[in-house]
């Protein structure tokens, strides 16, 4: 585990996978203002859909 502090507002992030762990990471990235792209053949129902 490594702690890191980044300003993600307006930055692009890519998540590979669409399960529960990805859903948690996506939520936290979106809360910090990142633009998130998900690469996965299927998505957990908790993952927010494109708006």
Walk along the chain (51 residues) in steps of 10 and give the mean pLDDT of each run.
Answer: 89 95 92 94 85 54
Structure pTM?
0.81
Which one, of 16, 13, 26, 20, lies nearest residue 44 by Cα?
20
Neighbours of 2 (CB within 10 A): 3
pLDDT number for residue 47 = 87
pLDDT number for residue 48 = 76
């Amino acid at each position: 585990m490594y702690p890191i502090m980044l300003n993600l507002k307006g930055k692009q992030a890519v998540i590979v996978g669409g399960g529960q762990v990805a859903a948690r990471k996506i939520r936290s990235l979106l809360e910090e203002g990142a633009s998130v792209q998900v690469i996965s053949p299927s998505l957990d129902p908790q993952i927010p859909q494109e708006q």
